[in-house]
A = this chain, B = another copy of it.
Amino acid sequence: MRLVIATCTVDYAGRLAAHLPRAKRLLLVKADGSISIHADGGAYKPLNWMSPPCTLRMEEGRWVVTNAKGETLTIELHEVHGELSHELGPDPGLQKDGVEAHLQELLAANPHVLEPGLALLRREHPTDIGPVDLLCRDAEGRTVAVEIKRRGEIDGVEQLARYLERLELDGRLRPVRGILAAQLVKPQARTLAAARGIAWVEVDYDELRGVGTGRLTLF
């Protein structure tokens, strides 16, 4: 990894054309061959960048980066104010917890959280337009399709509505109800769900994780 603080101008010609006027910036060259140009703002996003695979040609006061698609990034280095290089080695990588897949696992293990008496029939139940996240049976023996999202929005409701249509065609499952489960269900999604006769449930992830580990039953 090589870090250079420099006064520079930058031109990018690729999927769009962009230009950075002369100013002091950070040039960050990683071992993977990528290069990114950062200002002292704009949070984590660079002003401009080139993703690997690309080739960096360093001439006198001028870096030219190109890739296979013919995109080019040209950096004119007018003055270098600081520099730092260091080999970091491979990174063990980020361990994530709390994404949709995890939510689905937890709800599959605890469908009763969505509604008392709800029991899991199948996860990722296939239909010809895609898999239904959870297929369940309710306390009265009716089939329930559950669509799980981190955020419940309109398209989630429509996706579930399409699944319900397909499932209704199966005489063994009919009648089929739907539940949209999400950490947050947006107002528009609530309204549309109501209009479609679809129920929605907001799920508290931390609480659900507690259920999963038996914490709620311990205290």
Contact = CB atoms under 8 A, between A and B. Distances in A.
Interface in A84-110: 84, 86-99, 101-102
A159 interface: no
A25 interface: yes
B21 A95 contact: yes
Interface residues of A, number: 62
A104 to B, nearest CB: 12
Chain copies in complex: 2
A38 interface: yes
Interface stretch (A26-34, A138-146, A174-182): A26-34
B91 A39 contact: yes
Nearest to A86: B5
Contact of A84 (B41, B82, B95, B101): B82
Nearest to A41: B32
B97 A23 contact: no
Given A18-B94, A96-B18, A49 B43 contact: yes
A103 to B, nearest CB: 10
A40 B3 contact: no
Q: Which 3 A-B pairs have the closest CB atoms?
A: A16-B98, A39-B91, A17-B97
